[in-house]
Amino acid sequence: MTASSSHTPVLLERSLALLEPALALEGAVLVDATLGLGGHAEAALERNPALTLVGLDRDTAALDASAQRLERFGDRVHLVHTVYSGLRSALDTLGIQRVTGVLFDLGVSSMQLDEADRGFAYSQDAPLDMRMDRTTGITAEAVLAEYTEAELRRIFYAYGEEKLAPRYARRIVESRAEQPLTRSSELVRLIIDATPRAVQRSGHPAKRVFQALRIEVNGELAALEAALPAALDSLAVGGRIVVLAYQSLEDRIVKRELAARTRSTAPEGLPVELPEHRPEFRLLVRGAELADEAERASNSRSIPVRLRAAERVREAA
């Protein structure tokens, strides 16, 4: 697969429109914290000839593909193999103190979903890997083999919001006592067999379990909770951040962090708001924006997306 084939970036035009005023600033630097196949990054570089890009991704295959796609931009591009929670460290290594734009396109990437052997898709048979960075970390197979029933139940509840978590955890422990689960098709069959027929009519029963396993394997929520404050702290005045989230757990973290940064810190009852208490950021959109009907029809991966954005309006006290 080439970097541009079968890849339609979600909310490309809207994301770039929100970032554009920041990308036009002198010395503009955009951090694409979830580079993937580089669709958003390529468009930003094409439209802003003076822009410098810092692209982060934990997936070495994605970095290799994006390196080819973005090669024509030369030394305007710096690619770093890291989880997005390593954003500040990556900037320090590059000698960059402040940036003018940050983009997060969260969740599993198009390439990871499309490559069957990664194990992310419950619709395709593959080894139970699910690591975004295949050079390190625990696999989904190991989680299913080693976690206790209580631990499995916890991650299915917490990361999949799965009501049948106890049933699925129990069946997995019973099944692995006879034979370990090593392939996605085996896990899907187990879940389907354990799901009441009435529940199966409301959607694929494996969806939430696969989401929970992926989040656990990759530590996604903890990484996001660390990455957002680092990204906001790295923005210069006038700098902007855009975050695309695809499930409620991610979106809650983004909503909470942006709400805290756009709220006055003045003590209640203070007659005059002092400058140091004024919000550091302002929201650029009301609530979470959805993809429009045209994009939802042409790109199914845009259906669950929730976009939030903010601009830094003053330095921290």
Q: Is 204 annotated to bind ligand? A: no
Q: Evaluate whether 252 touches 258 at the Cβ level (below 8 Å).
A: no
**What span, in angstroms and rounded, lies between the C-alpha atoms of 185 and 116?**
12
State pLDDT tens for residues 78-105: 999 999 999 999 999 999 999 999 999 9
Residue 311's DSSP bridge partners are: 240, 282
pLDDT (average), residues 274-279: 73
**Co-location of 213 and 271 in the same domain:** no
Say whether pLDDT at 211 is over 70: yes
Q: Which two tokens stand for residue 57?
A: 């991704």
pLDDT (average), residues 259-272: 76
42 is a domain residue: yes
State pLDDT tens for residues 136-156: 999 999 999 999 999 999 999
Last residue of a domain, one of 218, 237, 259: 218
Choose among 245, 241, 167: nearest CA to 199: 167
Q: Is 247 annotated to bind ligand? A: no
Q: Evaluate whether 253 touches 225 at the Cβ level (below 8 Å).
A: yes
**Co-location of 254 and 295 in the same domain:** yes
Q: Evaluate whether 256 touches 274 at the Cβ level (below 8 Å).
A: no
Q: Is 39 annotated to bind ligand? A: yes
More confident residue, 197 or 69: 69
4 is a domain residue: no
Q: Is 133 annotated to bind ligand? A: no
pTM for this model (two decimals): 0.91
State pLDDT tens for residues 161-176: 999 999 999 999 999 9
Q: Is 38 annotated to bind ligand? A: yes
Q: Evaluate whether 39 touches 13 at the Cβ level (below 8 Å).
A: no
Q: Determine the distance from the C-alpha atom of residue 271 to the mean position of all C-alpha atoms in its chain, rounded to a whole number.
A: 41
**What span, in angstroms and rounded, lies between the C-alpha atoms of 248 and 263?**
22
Domain that holds residue 88: 12-111+220-312
Residue 8: per-residue pLDDT: 81
Last residue of a domain, one of 218, 238, 261: 218
Lowest-confidence pick of 109-113, 162-166, 260-264, 304-308? 109-113
Say whether pLDDT at 273 is over 70: no
Residue 271: per-residue pLDDT: 66
